[in-house]
Amino acid sequence: MPTLRHTAASASASATWAALAFIAGAVLAAATGLIFLAPGGSAWSGTFTDPYVWRVARFTLWQAALSALLSILFAMPVAHALARRARFTGRTWLIRLLSLPLALPQLVAVMGILSLWGRHGWLARAAHFTGLPGLPGIYGLTGILLAHVFFNMPLAARILTAALERIPGEYWRLAAQLAMPRAAIWRHIAWPAMARVIPGAALLIFMLCATSFTVVLILGGGPAATTLEVAIYQALRFDFDPPRAMALSLLQVLVTTAVFFILRRFTRAPDVTASLEAPHAHPAGNDPAARLADTFWIGLAAIFTAAPLAAIAAAGLTPDLVPLLASPALHGALLASLILAAAAAALTLILSWALLQSLRLRDPSFAAMGDLAASLILVIPPVVLGAGWFIILHRAGQEATLAPVLVATINALMSLPFAWRILRPPFEEAQARYGRLCAALDITGLARLRLVDWPMLRRPLGLAAALSLALSIGDLGAIALFGSESFRTLPWLLYQKLGSYRTDEAAGLALILLVFILALMALAEALGGQSRRNTP
């Protein structure tokens, strides 16, 4: 019946508008706090003439550019080796290992890097034992670059490997028939495939590093190595200078907005050239020199990724771990983390589902609004949102009361782009398969959810929920602004232990947090695998 169809379309539009209003309200309220409620009137404008601010802005862009360059340069030979060695023992586990850094809380990974590369880390002790010169200091630009490459090299390697694996098999067959040397294969086949995705991958990594907070907060080592996000945090938590925080937030938004639109401009769709042949073995696959080079790069990538994780486990397994497990502070922080993560994941799924309804209305502009709203947090980083809300709560005297709600909301918005990208493809597939049938049979509302949407989206929803939980449990950005002695999560407790130089307890907390995240990642992988097997 037309009435039912109109009602269903109206409900979908209402749900999407409600989600858009919620996201816009959270962002506009934060902007109001920054612009209108910050004390000092027009004094904030003087911040833009401060040489220190522009030095921080330059360092933000410089470290992000270097991080992206080093990550891509390291990822290129790794991806080439993985593409050339399509089958070897342990390849599946290596791919899983390369998926770990992006899901790890940055604070946990930084702990592993310190345990490995720090002044008293494994490598420093090994150098002292063998009489070799010591390593350069980990704090400052060196440590920031090392941590960013740890997080982003695996991401770049996955993107480049996927590009190489999309090369049609006929290319490799022709290269084998022509007996092309390795240099010619690289120049005419491998490099063009990677060159198509390198700009998008580099810009994505640049954006992630430009908005990095935890890595710079821990490893920056002082004013000489500070980014805009850390400067915002310092202006509020240490100096309580809201005008300065507002000016820095505005500058940060301008930078991230410019990078975001550049990223959208340079990111190209994957090459989907059809191939009538099965993928052909790489012509240089049996070359001894190529095999040796591939083994070196694959082994180096595995060691570089796994060593900090092993360092976390070794540092955390100390006699202090048992008393730490019985600590009331740990229990309180763990309970707060789980409650906040559950609330954030639930809100993420609700917002994602509401925004997905825009795809049912067959209105491209409305669907584009949903996509832009889901990606808004990439332009307005969580620290900027938190800064605006921090000023609002401080003026209202409600920091202690509403801080948990704000942390859960900011974490939900932080997870929204990832959940959106997980849920949108199966939702569009369900719409393409059964949309006309549901319209013809007037299947709407709960009946459509039960009969059509739920069977196809059950597993992706579980995957999105697990990843949202992992991101929220390990986040330090929001809690760094609102955390206190009476409101602590696991990352905030870990940061406090590091700040008070209780490194053994900090290592134990890092291990506990790592175990939680690994469990959630295993759940997410299981759900993702079942989703692929059970999709009707």
Residue range 253-297, pLDDT digits in tens: 888 788 777 766 665 544 333 333 434 555 555 677 778 888 899
What are the tokens at 11? 């409900």
- Contact by Cβ (8 Å): 113, 147: yes
- Contact by Cβ (8 Å): 61, 211: no
- Contact by Cβ (8 Å): 26, 376: no
CA–CA separation, 445 and 450 (whole Å): 9
Query: What is the distance, to the nearest Å, from the Cα of residue 510 to the centroid of all Cα atoms in its chain?
Result: 19
Using 50, 70 and 90 to split pLDDT, how confident is the model at 329?
Answer: confident
pTM of the model: 0.79
In a domain, 90, yes or no: no
Give the pLDDT of residue 68: 93
Number of H helices, E strands in the chain: 25, 0
Angle between helices 228-237 and 382-396 (to 10 degrees): 10
Closest CA to 235 of 77, 512, 513, 43: 43
Position 348, amino acid: T
- Contact by Cβ (8 Å): 512, 250: no
Q: Give the mean pLDDT of 40-53.
A: 64
In a domain, 151, yes or no: no
> Would the pLDDT of 54 be above 80?
yes
Q: Give the mean pLDDT of 168-187.
A: 75
- Contact by Cβ (8 Å): 282, 184: no
- What b/e sequence results for 500-532 when a residue is b if at least 16 CB atoms lie within 10 Å of its CB, and e otherwise? eeebebbbbbbbbbbebbeebbebbeebbeebe
**3-state SS class at 487:** strand
Closest CA to 385 of 477, 279, 300: 477
Closest CA to 304 of 162, 160, 147, 194: 147
Least confident of 245-254, 268-277, 514-523: 268-277
In a domain, 255, yes or no: no
In a domain, 501, yes or no: yes
DSSP 8-state symbol, 167: S
- Cα distance between the two ends of the chain: 27
CA–CA separation, 296 and 316 (whole Å): 30
Closest CA to 459 of 512, 523, 410: 523
In a domain, 172, yes or no: no
- Contact by Cβ (8 Å): 329, 493: yes
Higher-confidence residue of 497 and 153: namely 153
For residue 170, how many other CB atoms are within 10 A of its CB?
Answer: 14
Query: CA-based Rg of the chain, rounded to a whole angstrom?
Result: 25
What are the tokens at 183? 């240099």
In a domain, 15, yes or no: yes
Angle between helices 106-117 and 141-165 (to 10 degrees): 110
Q: Give the mean pLDDT of 61-66.
A: 92
Range(s) of the domain holding residue 468:
1-36+317-536
Question: pLDDT by residue (tens digit) across 456-510?
Answer: 777 788 878 887 888 888 888 788 888 887 888 888 888 888 877 787 788 888 8
Position 28, amino acid: L
Q: Give the mean pLDDT of 374-400.
A: 78
Phi, psi of 276 (to 5 degrees): -85, -10
In a domain, 276, yes or no: no
Phi, psi of 76 (to 5 degrees): -60, -55
Q: Which residues contact residue 163 at a Cβ distance below 8 angstroms, ignoring those fewer than 6 apart?
A: 79, 193, 194, 196, 197, 270, 271
- Contact by Cβ (8 Å): 156, 75: yes
Q: How many residues does the chain have?
A: 536
Q: Which CATH number goes with the domain that contains 18?
A: 1.10.3720.10
Percentage of the chain modeled with pLDDT above 90: 9
> Would the pLDDT of 101 be above 80?
yes
Q: Give the mean pLDDT of 70-99.
A: 84
In a domain, 83, yes or no: no
Domains: count for the chain: 1
Give the pLDDT of residue 435: 64
> Would the pLDDT of 115 be above 70?
yes
